[in-house]
Chains A and B, each alone.
Chain A
Amino acid sequence: KAGVTQTPRYLIKTRGQQVTLSCSPISGHRSVSWYQQTPGQGLQFLFEYFSETQRNKGNFPGRFSGRQFSNSRSEMNVSTLELGDSALYLCASSLAGGGNYTFGSGTRLTVV
């Protein structure tokens, strides 16, 4: 079966712009989580969605937002981009949240 698909794979944006990243979970998975990975901080939790509702949110500013659609696909939006937002953004899905998450290959965002 298809894995977790993230698009685009790479993205270059300038400061002040906004960006939308997409994540299609494994078919049947209803929980989608987003993580930011940087060399210094490791993986940091952004938020988790389950059945179109945000269940959890990490300690990120309000510029980071997300949503989940009825087909469980999820999008993440970052507004007013800053240089420090440059990172690998990973999405992970599971059946109902918790336990064994399957990760996508990520979107590499570079802010210049």
Chain B
Amino acid sequence: EDKVVQSPLSLVVHEGDTVTLNCSYEVTNFRSLLWYKQEKKAPTFLFMLTSSGIEKKSGRLSSILDKKELFSILNITATQTGDSAVYLCAVEYRNTGNQFYFGTGTSLTVIP
């Protein structure tokens, strides 16, 4: 059965800490892996990863994919209170069209 598992489920850190969020997957016909940030309602896109070993970076956030070991990590350095959110990992696979499996998310709380 296809699945996407995120860990940890929740995390509380202090401002300035570095965090690593994990996403492992078992999905046939893998196409890409995406990270989203969900603060209130609408998840907002962070990264899309398709190739192993190539780091994507945006400011203090970075992510990398390992297609051999079937996982991805999302790193956030020098965390700020504005980073508090649920981080969602989604794996896109090709069926007759395109479809995603989402993990249940990691809830990150950054305290001052």
Contacts and interface: CB of A to CB of B under 8 A. Distances in A.
Contacts of A97: 97-98
Given A42-B105, A98-B92, A48 B97 contact: yes
A101 B41 contact: no
Contacts, number: 67
Interface in A88-112: 88, 90, 97-106
Contacts of B103: 42
Contacts of A35: 102
Sorting the interface of chain B by its residue count into under 10, 10 to 19, 20 to 34 or 35 or more gives 20 to 34
B15 to A, nearest CB: 27
Contacts of B88: 42-43
A56 interface: yes
Interface residues of A, number: 27
B35 to A, nearest CB: 11
Contact of A45 (B42, B44, B99): B99
A15 interface: no
A32 to B, nearest CB: 11
A110 B93 CA distance: 31
B30 interface: no
Contact of A48 (B41, B44, B98): B98
